A and B are shown apart, each in its own frame.
Chain A
Amino acid sequence: MTTSAKRHALLRGTLDMLILRTLQWRPMHGHDIAKHIQRTTEDVLQVEHGSLYPALHRLRRKGWITAAWEWQKALNREFKFYNLTPGGRRQLATEEAQWRRVSKAIARVMWPALGTSED
């Protein structure tokens, strides 16, 4: 993990979307989610660990993820794992579509010559 790479602050609203997407792979606990995002973006996107947990609890309150304490044999400890719900999947799809629309619009402004991007 590079520690010197510049990290960019994340737009708050997109954190929810990234969490949901991450959980689509498999249930994870909070620390794993943070690591996953950081690793996958090659450290470009920095998740404020401080804002991760409030976001997780917020998503749970809205019913898009569930949480359960599970015993991890490997580490001989209990961790709190988060799971995506069907409602969460639907929300993810919605936010994904919205994100695509937004980024297409931004791209048209920034690079008009490129025309429509691939779908």
Chain B
Amino acid sequence: MNREDDLDKELRDHVDLEAEDRMDAGLPRSEARAAAARQLGSVALIKEDVREAWGTAWIERMRQDLAFAARLMRKTPGFTATAVLTLAIGVGASTAIFSQINAVFWKTLPVDRPQELRSLAWFGQKHPFVAGTNVIAGPSVAGIETFGSFSYPAYKEMRDGTRTFSQLACWADLGEARPVVMRDVGFGTVHFVSGNYFDTLGVRAAIGRILTPEDDTPGTTAAVLSEPFWRRSFGGRADILQHTIDLNGKAFAIVGVMSRGFFGIDPSTIPDVIVATGAVQLAASTVNPLQNPVLWQMCRVFGRLRSGVTDQQARTDVEPWLRQAADDAVTAAATMQRRPRENDYDAPRLFLLDAERGLGTLRDAVSTPLLILMAVVVAILLIACANIAGLLIVRGAAREREIATRLALGASRGRLIRQLLTESLLLSAAGGALGVALAYAFARTSATLISRFMPTVYGADRSLGVIVSPDARVLIFSAAVTIVTALVFGGLPACRSTRIALISSIKRSKTGVGRSSRLPADKLLVAIQAALSVLLMIGAGLFLRTITNLRETPLGYDPGGLLYARIEPRTGGIPSAQRAAFFERAVKRFETIPGITSVTATDNPPLGRAATIFLGAPAARFCMPGMTPHAERDASAALAGVAPRYFETLRTPVVTGREFDWLDGEAGNAASSGAPDPSRPRFPAIVNEAFARRFLAGKNPLDSRFGLNCPSQPSAIQIIGVVADSKNLPRQSSSPRIYVPMGGSINVVTLILRTGGRPEAMIPTVRRAMADVSVNVPTFGETTPIELREQQMQQERLLTNLLIAFGAVALLLSSIGIYGMLAYLVTRRTSEIGIRMALGARPAAVVAMVLRESIGPVAVGLALGALTAIVAARWVNTLLFGVTAYDPRTIAAAALVFLAIASLAALLPARRASRIDPLGALRAE
């Protein structure tokens, strides 16, 4: 028998015994029972007190509250559905975004003891030991823009000399500058890692084995796959270890597959295939990168600290080895370039960075957009709360009599507030649960969204390393959001509803006269909603303009109608001696395709990946006769190899001089093995206006010469033309460029075709034409510069779309809020309005009176929103282009749109007010 029944029986027994006593004393039965019951007193009260003694009274109260709240929710399905859905969207969106933020910022690497890992970076003001700009940008450390990659010899020195790191590993993702073509797969991401890479991380393979130092030999053929690649390209087959994979024409044995969620140390990219650095030759150009001391983009280094070692100790231990390597490299550079050794340069400083959560590339790239997104979602959540709060206030006013009666019956105000809050909590919990479910159902979609946020550092279609999965921190966050929103939207109405004068409330009729509904809370909510909506709309407007500006900024060439197609002749077995002729054949074949206006080729097309990965386009140092040594140090320019008709195809104006023709290239020089044509320079080059401005000031460009093989031949190259400036990205500024005839030592060449119609439509024709040239060398990676440009703008486009979507939602919610506020106002003041109209007020005047009630909060809201936009400007300015965050036109436009929609929402109840039948209103009193 449970406790309650037990107590019940006990009390009944008591009454029975007492009644019997009284009967024994002579009272008749019924009187005895009545007297006994009276003497016991209120059984209900006793039970309450006993429950109090049990300490479980609050459970009972909560059960009552919940039961009542549930019943109320069932009785008003419309309101419940709206509120729950609104909350679900709000909580779901914020959970989704927060789980992304959690994955990016706080999830530690899925490796062994991640807190021991450190990644290395360095910095030096002058770095002659680096050839050109061949080094990868590192993170910003205390305001210093460090470099994140080292040369392989430098890595080896540090690895062999350190006593504070138990392991130092090197890995390289050479990206599209040195692509790896996998037959049957196309282009894939390959990471080259040192033999101890997996050991340093402390991870094992899911299938097969990991790479070991034994695999790190030149000519190694062991490869490890990542889990997504194994599923995608091999169908997740179980016999994967029996297969091989073809990388740039060489077969590699698959020795292992990594587990799901492994991405190495950089969460911004998952490798498809991992091979040892010994195999890097297959992706490199002529000089063996592992022995090249001035090639500092080879190794990204990280390591595991020995226990008990501090960061400072590790730095002082490893830095001297780095400096030694740098010093050796300076000597090597001087030898290679046959000039005296530079002795004044900055010894590089070493930086150690926490690698517990992986490299910061992803964090740095997406932190601003993610936080903006979070702010947007919070705004939506607040608007939703305000809306529901408004509705609850209205409903609370309708329940005035019920609440007044309860108060009169003895309920304490606190008790009532508790009950109203329970109703809010129940609504919020329902909405929250639904929201979290939605967030996880769409987890993969949101992860894709997040990878769209990655600016094209490594390529737009690189998959993201972080995996979003249920996580205690995220669930706690969702629960907190749920509870806070319940308190926010429930608290105000609860307090307001219970603060009523009793007698007048019970006596008063439903539609009151007199006390005008000056509900400051209501108006405050409308003002808040207006402010948030306008803020979002301003954001949307700013980004719309940014995108338009990005699209319309002239880049110095005409991208419309251009088609890029890449070919990689090396895997097709074309030896390098014959490549130049091969390219010429390909271009000439393409020129015969109907619908193609002109064809050219280059190794570095505008907006191509190589142009956007490293610190700039691959740069070259040059020297000019008569150049001071000081000027020589700065003499570097972007270098590209181009085929004839390049500038014609791109529609970049040739300012002076001429373009290349087929005789200018290597092939031409080889062909003219007889007497060289005196009118034709042996080594021609074309430069752009920026180059001329900077390095040829005052001189006639066509008379100038320079050399790329410094310092031995400073005048080998003759400038034969100057072209207009062009840039890859709208946000870049034009830099000096040198164009040389495309030679045969290039691996991947991009053919550029200007088409008459839609470029994409020509792709099948182009492929067939390429097959005519050589059946072993297919085109791949067909795309257009317009497409690439849109990819570059992914972040901005996504933000714009989101802001527009959220802005529209906010606008809708605010309008509903305004409508609700005014509708309620009209209802409450029906009799007052009736009287006014009976006394002669015209409908227009009534409409104006109602509208006036809404002007105040809306105006305040707009002002507040605009002010917030201006204040928040500086965080957003970096993302904008061509428009500042305090652009008055955008702010005005957003305000006007809001006013227009809000007026519409306000007009409906206003017109309803003007149609009130005065007699009817007064009679209903």
Contact = CB atoms under 8 A, between A and B. Distances in A.
Interface of A: 1, 29-31, 35, 48-51, 53-55, 57-58, 61, 77, 79-80
A109 B729 CA distance: 98
Contacts, number: 50
Contact of B41 (A31, A50, A55, A77): A50
Interface centre among B6, B17, B21 (most CB of A within 10 A): B17
Interface in B13-46: 13-14, 17-18, 21, 25, 39-42, 45-46
Given A49-B40, A50-B40, A31 B13 contact: yes
Given A35-B21, A80-B6, A53 B13 contact: no
B13 A77 contact: yes
B59 to A, nearest CB: 15
A48 B49 CA distance: 13
B46 A50 contact: yes
Nearest to B13: A79
B41 A54 contact: no
15 contacts: A30-B10, A30-B13, A31-B13, A31-B14, A31-B17, A31-B18, A49-B39, A49-B41, A51-B49, A53-B11, A54-B46, A54-B49, A54-B52, A57-B53, A57-B54
A81 B89 CA distance: 58
Q: How large is the interface on B (under 10, 10 to 19, 20 to 34, 35 or more residues)?
A: 20 to 34
Contacts of B908: none
Contacts of A50: 40-42, 45-46, 49
A49 B18 CA distance: 11
A61 B13 contact: no
Contacts of A54: 46, 49-50, 52-53
Nearest to B41: A50
A49 B53 contact: no
A80 B12 CA distance: 11
A119 to B, nearest CB: 35
Interface in B39-98: 39-42, 45-46, 49-50, 52-55
A49 B50 contact: no
Contacts of B11: 53
* 8 interchain residue pairs of minimum CB distance: A50-B41, A54-B49, A31-B17, A58-B53, A57-B53, A31-B14, A49-B40, A54-B53
Interface centre among A30, A49, A79, A80 (most CB of B within 10 A): A49
B41 A61 contact: no
B46 A53 contact: yes
A54 B45 CA distance: 10
B13 A57 contact: no
A79 B39 CA distance: 20
Nearest to B52: A54
Nearest to B46: A50
Nearest to B55: A61
| Interface residues of chain B: helix, strand, loop or mixed (majority) | helix
A61 B53 contact: yes
A63 B852 CA distance: 68
Nearest to A31: B17
A30 B14 contact: yes
A80 B46 contact: no
Nearest to B11: A53
B50 A80 contact: no
A9 to B, nearest CB: 14
Contacts of B21: 1, 35
Contacts of B42: 50
A73 to B, nearest CB: 16
Contacts of A77: 13
Given A1-B25, A55-B53, A80-B9, 14 more contacts: A1-B21, A30-B10, A30-B14, A31-B14, A31-B17, A50-B40, A50-B42, A50-B49, A53-B14, A53-B46, A54-B46, A57-B50, A79-B13, A80-B10
A55 B53 CA distance: 8
Contacts of B10: 30, 53, 80
A61 B8 CA distance: 18
B537 to A, nearest CB: 61
B639 to A, nearest CB: 88
A49 B49 CA distance: 12
Contacts of A55: 53
A1 B27 CA distance: 13
A94 B14 CA distance: 30
Interface in B173-195: none
A61 B50 CA distance: 11
Contacts of A61: 53-55
Interface string B858-875: 000000000000000000
Contacts of B55: 61
A53 B11 CA distance: 8
B50 A53 contact: yes
A5 B82 CA distance: 66
A83 B54 CA distance: 18
A83 to B, nearest CB: 15
A48 B41 contact: yes
Contacts of A35: 21
Contacts of A53: 7, 10-11, 14, 46, 49-50
A44 B488 CA distance: 56
A49 to B, nearest CB: 5
A77 B50 CA distance: 24
Contacts of B53: 54-55, 57-58, 61
A87 to B, nearest CB: 17
Nearest to A29: B13
Interface centre among B41, B45, B49 (most CB of A within 10 A): B49
A40 to B, nearest CB: 16
A30 B16 CA distance: 12
A58 B53 CA distance: 5
A24 to B, nearest CB: 21
A79 B50 CA distance: 18
A1 B18 CA distance: 12
A54 B18 CA distance: 18
A30 B45 CA distance: 17
A108 B9 CA distance: 47
B41 A80 contact: no
Contacts of B17: 31
Interface in B808-845: none
Contacts of B50: 53-54, 57
Nearest to B3: A57
A79 B11 CA distance: 10
Contacts of A58: 53
A57 B53 CA distance: 6
A8 B45 CA distance: 22
A30 B13 CA distance: 9
A31 B36 CA distance: 11
Contacts of A51: 49
Contacts of B49: 50-51, 53-54
A43 to B, nearest CB: 13
A31 B15 CA distance: 8
Contacts of B25: 1
A48 B55 CA distance: 21
Nearest to A61: B53
Contacts of B7: 53
Given A50-B45, A54-B49, A80 B40 contact: no
Nearest to B47: A53
A80 B45 contact: no
Interface centre among B11, B14, B45, B46 (most CB of A within 10 A): B14
Contacts of B18: 31, 49
A54 to B, nearest CB: 4
A50 B50 CA distance: 10
A102 B139 CA distance: 77
A23 to B, nearest CB: 16
A29 B54 CA distance: 19
A53 B6 CA distance: 12
A62 B54 CA distance: 10
A79 to B, nearest CB: 6
Contacts of B46: 50, 53-54
Given A35-B21, A80-B6, A49 B14 contact: yes
B459 to A, nearest CB: 69
